[in-house]
Structure 1
C-alpha cells in the first residue's frame, strides 16, 4: 500500500525579530504575551496541517483548551489578527479557515522538493505569476476534486491555446535558466557555498523584480552580511520597488523596468507594506 501523501510541514522558520513586525507588535500591544503566544501557536497548527487551519467551533474549543486561554479571548485575538492583516478576512468568513498570502508562499517554498503539492482553488491567494513558478503545484477544486490547470480558463482555439502554452513554457525555462545563473554568480562571490536549495525563492524574485535587481540585492547582502540572508534580500527588493532604488541606497542605477533585468516579461509588482518577508512570509 502506498504511503499517504503528506500535506503538513515538520518545521517552519521563525525569525528572531518576528515581534518587531508592526502587525505582530500590534497584537502584543493589545493582548500582551498571551496574544503573541496565540499567534505562534496558530502558526504551528497551520503549518502542521499545510497552508491553512480550519477555524470552526470544534477547532476553537480544542485550541482554547490546549493553550489554556478562554475561547472568547482567543477569538478576540483572532479578530484583531484579521484586522491587522495577519490572516485573510474573506476566507475566514466564507470557508472558516485561517491563512494568508505569506503563509501560502512559505508553504510552497518549504514543500518545493515534493513531487506534488495540492492547493485548493477556492483557498488560493497567490498571484498566477507566483503560482506558475512551482511546477509541482496542482490546483484542485474542492467541490469536485478535479485538477485545475488554470484558474480562469476561457474557451479558445487550439492554435491560440498552443501558443499560450508555448509562451508560458518559454517563460518558465527562461526563469529557470536565470535562477541557475544567480546560483553560479553566488558561488563566485562565496567560493564553496551553494544556494541551489533556494531556487524557488530566486525564481519568485526574478519573476517579480527582474534578474539584475535580484543579482544586485544578493551582492549587497553578501557585502553586508557575508551570507545568503533571504529575509534581508526580500526586504531590499521590496524597498527598491516601493521607495526607489536610488533613494534607498544612493546608487546610480535607473529606477525603471528596463534596468531590472534580462527578463523582458517583467512587470514590477507593488508589494504591500504588510507583506514583509520576515513575518508575513510566515503569517
Structure 2
C-alpha cells in the first residue's frame, strides 16, 4: 500500500516545489499536502481492521488503479531529466518521503508503511558489507531498483548522473561516513546447490534459529512476533512473506538472498548469520526459503 500512496502523493502534489511529475496539474490549493496525508490516513484506517490477506488483495487493486492513472498522465519534463545537481535531485525526488534533512520525516512519511529510512545514522538496510556502512554501489543499487514491499520505488527513470549526484547528499546526512570506512564486501562463499537434503537442513535451521518466530512456520510473515516488530527508530515494520514470489528486498537471486543471511538488514531485527552459520548452512537456508515461494 505504501507504494500506492507514494504514487498518489506524487500524482496529487506534482508541480509543487519539490514534487516531480504531472507538470503541476494539481498545485492550485495551498492545502494539497494536508489533504493528501488525510486521504492516506483514511486508507490506513480502513485497512487496519482487515486481515493481512485481505489487505494485500486491496493493495494490489489500488496499485493497478493508480498505476494506470499515473501512466495515463505522467510525463517527465526534459528540465527534470537534465537535473544533475544532487541537492536539487534530492529535494525534488527524495525529500517528500525522506525529509529535507534526511531524517525520514518528509510531508508524506506519516501516511507510509513502512516509514521512510532516516539517513542520519548511516544505517542502510541493503548492503554487501558485514559492517554498518554500505558501499556506494549498495546505495546506488537501492536507488535504481527500489525496495519491493515499501514506498521506495525504483528510480531507474533517473539518469546515472542524477543517481550518482545523490551519493554525497545522502552520505552527507550522516557523520559516520566521514568518520568510518565501509568494510570490504562480504564474500559469497561457494555455491552449494539445492537438493532435498539441503532444503530439509534449511528448514531445520529455519526453526532452530527462530526464523519462524517472525516469518511464520510456513514463511508467510505471520510469526507470533510479526505484529510487534519495529525498526531501530521504533517504527512498526513487517516480516517478509517468503511465499509471495521474487520480491526479496535487495534482489531475489540466490546470491542476493545469501547476502541477506550473511550481512543481515541494518536497522531491523533481521540479524547477520555470518558468524553463527557456515556458508553451507546459509545456502541451505536460501534454498529452503526460496522453496516456499508460490510457483
Identify the TM-score tier after normalising by the shorter chain: under 0.3
**Greater share of strand:** 1
**Greater share of helix:** 1
